[in-house]
Amino acid sequence: MPRPAPGELLLKVTAAGVCHTDHQLMATPPDQFRHPLPFRLGHEAVGIVAEVGAGVVGVSEGDEVAVYGAWGCGRCRVCASGAENYCPHVRREGVLRPGLGGPGAMAEYMLVDRASHLVPLGGLEPVAAAALTDAGLSSYHAIHSEIDRLGPGATALVIGVGGLGHVGIQILRVLTAARVIAVDVSPAKLGLATALGADRVVLAEDDPQRVVDEMTGGVGADAIFDFVGAPATLDLAVAAVRIGGSVQIVGAGGGSIHVAPARVPFGVRIGVPFWGALPDLYDVIALARGGAISVTTTEFSLDDAPLAYAELEEGRILGRAIVVP
Ligand code: NAD
Ligand code: ZN
Ligand code: ZN
């Protein structure tokens, strides 16, 4: 049982999300980590404040909160803007984010470094809320940055309807007027995409580029959100994006885009968004509280967490697997 140092808080974890990034971490050779091993996974966390460290004000034992996990140094201009996910001092200062180097949420209890990283759940159920902190926040951030191009008549392409993608479709629906085309390798994931409001779904093997051409009169998609990031999906993104459009590479599936004249359409913006800013998490939680977005979940006990990871790897999780200690 960890004890909170001055300024820290101890949470009793009520739910933790199982993100595909965890698989990538588990597949990373030990010598490629720049922080000590082992560490505990779990970077999507909600919990109840169990103990408040000395000097912490404004948070009380019993508060139900979501954890903003993209901790920055907390003392620079970028962090002051709320975009701690892009703090340039994290590496140099050795900031360890929970579940990504520091002890994460796959446990009964976890420490949080400061009160501002806790966002009130406002009555949301823990299992429904856990994945908002990353699957929700990361897809929100990627989409929100491209919102100006997604007005009436625009077309958005979502590649990968997993944990992130299935929330992304809902965020596109509620924040933009764009038509949404969703691509996945799994018919079941595409069924979920349709249920969540995608206008058109297409299997990756069924020539998604043709569908984009059909729906856009050969112009291409205004914005593409690649939640896979594999070589094949990034090839699709480059082929399907319109001149002056946008490709946001969210998935870390090992693919890359050669950005140069004649290699991508002119005027294209390529982005590699990471997680989201602290104010964005308030927005995502507000959307969920208002019923505009929801996470499709499957629950696992903490003992069964390895099973959750296995099922995720086999493509059998619809939405997000959530571990409940
Ligand atoms: P997930 O496993 O829940 O979802 C991935 C989805 O992609 C699945 O539905 C799968 O069927 C589909 N898919 C796989 N190959 C495909 C292909 N070739 N074409 C179309 N669809 C395909 O994973 P997740 O937790 O949603 O994470 C998605 C990716 O995003 C991972 O690479 C993860 O590491 C990354 N990620 C990035 C950020 C960030 O901030 N940039 C945050 C969280 C996760
Ligand atoms: Zn994640
Ligand atoms: Zn900073």
**Best residue for ligand 1 mutational test, from 226, 250, 314 (most atoms within 8 Å of Cβ):** 250
Q: 106-142 pLDDT, tens per residue? A: 999 999 999 999 999 999 999 999 999 999 999 999 9
Ligand sitting nearest the alpha carbon of 20 = 1
pLDDT on residue 93: 96
Q: Could you tell me the distance, in angstroms and rounded to a whole number, from the CA of residue 126 to the centre of ligand 3?
A: 29
Quickly list DSSP for 135-197. HHHHHHHHHHTTGGG-STT-EEEEE--SHHHHHHHHHHHHH---EEEEEES-HHHHHHHHHTT
Q: Residue 217: pLDDT band by 50, 70, 90 thresholds?
A: very high
Ligand sitting nearest the alpha carbon of 185 = 1
pLDDT on residue 165: 99
Q: Could you tell me the distance, in angstroms and rounded to a whole number, from the CA of residue 207 to the centre of ligand 2?
A: 29
Can you tell me the mean pLDDT for 98-111? 98
Helix axes 135-144, 163-175, angle to 10 degrees: 40
Which residues, 6 or more positions from 219, have their beta carbon under 8 angstroms from its beta carbon? 242
Quickly list DSSP for 269-323. EEE---S--HHHHHHHHHHHHTTS----EEEEESTTHHHHHHHHHTT--SSEEEE
Ligand sitting nearest the alpha carbon of 190 = 1
Q: Residue 217, CB half-sphere, CA atoms under 13 Å: how many?
A: 2
Q: Could you tell me the distance, in angstroms and rounded to a whole number, from the CA of residue 199 to the centre of ligand 2?
A: 26
Cα→Cα distances 303→23, 163, 193, 309, Å:
17, 21, 30, 12
Q: Could you tell me the distance, in angstroms and rounded to a whole number, from the CA of residue 250 to the centre of ligand 3?
A: 22
Q: Could you tell me the distance, in angstroms and rounded to a whole number, from the CA of residue 163 to the centre of ligand 2?
A: 9
Q: 272-297 pLDDT, tens per residue? A: 999 999 999 999 999 999 999 999 99
Ligand sitting nearest the alpha carbon of 82 = 3
Per the DSSP assignment, residues forming a β-bridge with 246 are 223, 269
Q: Supply the residue whose CA is at minimum distance from atom 29 of ligand 1.
A: 251
pTM value > 0.95: yes
Ligand 1: residues within 6 Å at CB?
Answer: 19-21, 24, 134-135, 138, 159-165, 183-186, 189, 204, 227-230, 232-233, 250-253, 273-275, 312, 315
Quickly list DSSP for 2-35. --PPTT-EEEEEEEEEE-HHHHHHHTS-GGG-SS
Give the whole-angstrom CA distance, residue 33 versus residue 190: 35
Q: Could you tell me the distance, in angstroms and rounded to a whole number, from the CA of residue 262 to the centre of ligand 1?
A: 28
Cα→Cα distances 195→142, 190, 202, Å:
22, 9, 14
Percent of the chain residues topping a pLDDT of 90: 99
Cα→Cα distances 232→31, 153, 253, Å:
28, 27, 10
